[in-house]
Structure 1
Amino acid sequence: MKPAASALKASSQDALRDLRRRLRQPPQPARTKPGPTPPPIAAAPAAAVPTSADRALFRAATAGAKVLGASIHPPPPGLQPALPKPIPHQSLRDERLVLLEAMSDELDLDHLLETDAALSWRREGVGSDTLRKLRRGHWTIQNEIDLHGLRRDEAREALGQFLRTALQREWRCVRVIHGKGLSSPLREPVLKHKVRSWLMQRDEVMAYVQARPSDGGAGALVVLLRSARRTERGG
């Protein structure tokens, strides 16, 4: 064999062995080119705390400044907010005091009542026939109030309010239920006597009689009131 051929053969064998050796080795992961390193994150600055010098500087800079308030120009009439109506607390208190003072508990009514069995009453100037008509139901009872079971002050205030409403609505004849006093501690008709006294002190009350048995009997009164028109004229 020629030397050149031998050299070529040996070189081919070396190349073949080198190829086999590389095929037996496990595949190597592909190497990636490293990217640029990201810049470090800057730390957030700490909250600045104003010093005494900063505060003094701010006060000097804002000296003479005025705080802005509401606009000096009023809104148009259609845009003005509606103000709530004031609650007349004092007026309500005054009215309540008037009602209480107008019906005193100190009035002695024994000498003012007629001597009939029903203990009826009529204002001066009212004829005796008015009492007879009340007993017979001449006037229709238009409304009533039941005071039975109320304390004295509660009953007095409720009766005053009821009479004022009756005058405003022009009721002429009403019934006042006061009870017979059988449930009171001493079984005395305390409220019954108080109601009769209170009614006599009201200008709008013209007369009253004990109710008929069908209308409450000894536990109620039928009251005749003055008309609102006559009261307005001072008559």
Structure 2
Amino acid sequence: MTTKDERLSFLEEMKDVRRIRKPNKADVKTPKELTPGHLERQRSAMDQPLKDRNPLTADIVEPLTAHDVLCWQRPGVQHGVFRKLRLGQYPIEARLDLHRMTVEEARREVFGFISDCVRYGLRSVLILHGKGERNPDGIAQLKSYTAKWLPELDDVLAFHSAQKRHGGTGAAYVMVRKGDHDKQRNREIHGS
């Protein structure tokens, strides 16, 4: 609670303050005329539609069911490394959950996720695609597309369905290649 002296002091300090009569708002009306710059940008946008840099295809895929096991490795991945991935022995550094996404949303998310993993140096990640058990046809749609998309990405070295504790056949361990920064750091450490 303020005292009488504090209130009088406040009123004394504020005696020269006047109310602003004009509203303090910016004038955001759009111009009625299109300038040559507007017309040129509009024409350029129509001539060059936005390019989709995402290489993942959304074509027809081989349908997989809830219990199908995903298993793929790029040539050159050592058997011991793939075995550790398959057994879930690498720490999971990031997760992507595709549940309740459309195929197109999942396509964008998988591409962005793997790109981010390379950028941030994450090597062992988990993608939760679901089993599709609630689908009346028994087809695991996102699982089917994930199995098609991952080999299309050069940054993916291998993937395998997860162990039961990490989601079983409703998830996949993914091994991501090292980014250029990590490769350079290894060269400096090991002197090659």
TM range (shorter): 0.5 to 0.7
Question: RMSD of the alignment, in Å?
Answer: 2.7
Q: Deviations over 1:171-205 (max 9, x none)?
A: 00100000000122423111111001100100100
**Structure 1 residue identity aligned to 2:153:** R
**Structure 2 residue identity aligned to 1:165:** D
Q: 1:193 to 1:146 in 2, by over 3 A?
A: same
Q: Trace 1:41-60 onto structure 2 (pairs within 5 A).
A: none
Tell me which of 165, 169, 172 is aligned to 1:214: 165
TM-score under structure 2 length normalisation: 0.62
Aligned to 1:54: none
User: What SS class does the counterpart of residue 208 from structure 1 fall into?
Assistant: strand
Please tell me whether residue 138 in structure 1 is matched to residue 96 in structure 2: no
Distance in 1 separating the partners of 2:158 and 2:167: 17
Please tell me whether residue 196 in structure 1 is matched to residue 147 in structure 2: yes
Distance in 1 separating the partners of 2:91 and 2:100: 26
Distance in 2 separating the partners of 1:182 and 1:146: 16
Distance in 1 separating the partners of 2:53 and 2:136: 30
Q: 1:182 to 1:109 in 2, by over 3 A?
A: closer
Q: Trace 1:88-99 onto structure 2 (pairs within 5 A).
A: 93-94=50-51, 97-99=52-54
Q: Deviations over 1:129-167 (max 9, x none)?
A: 222110233321101000011111111011111111111
List alignment gaps of at least 5 residues for structure 2: 1-44, 185-192
Aligned to 1:69: none
User: What SS class does the counterpart of residue 130 from structure 1 fall into?
Assistant: helix
Please tell me whether residue 181 in structure 1 is matched to residue 132 in structure 2: yes
Q: 1:109 to 1:123 in 2, by over 3 A?
A: farther
Aligned to 1:127: 78
Residue 109 of structure 1, CA deviation: 7.1
Please tell me whether residue 150 in structure 1 is matched to residue 105 in structure 2: no
Please tell me whether residue 167 in structure 1 is matched to residue 118 in structure 2: yes
User: What SS class does the counterpart of residue 174 from structure 2 fall into?
Assistant: strand
User: What SS class does the counterpart of residue 197 from structure 1 fall into?
Assistant: helix
Distance in 2 separating the partners of 1:118 and 1:190: 14
Distance in 2 separating the partners of 1:228 and 1:197: 23
Aligned to 1:104: 57
TM-score under structure 1 length normalisation: 0.51
Q: Trace 1:10-25 onto structure 2 (pairs within 5 A).
A: none
User: What SS class does the counterpart of residue 157 from structure 2 fall into?
Assistant: strand
- Bigger relative CO (Cα 8 Å, ≥ 6 apart): 2
Q: Identity across aligned pairs (percent)?
A: 30
Q: Deviations over 1:36-92 (max 9, x none)?
A: xxxxxxxxxxxxxxxxxxxxxxxxxxxxxxxxxxxxxxxxxxxxxxxxxxxxxx8xx
Please tell me whether residue 225 in structure 1 is matched to residue 164 in structure 2: no
Determine if contact 1:105/1:197 at 8 Å carries over to the other structure: no
Determine if contact 1:120/1:209 at 8 Å carries over to the other structure: yes
Residue 118 of structure 1, CA deviation: 3.1
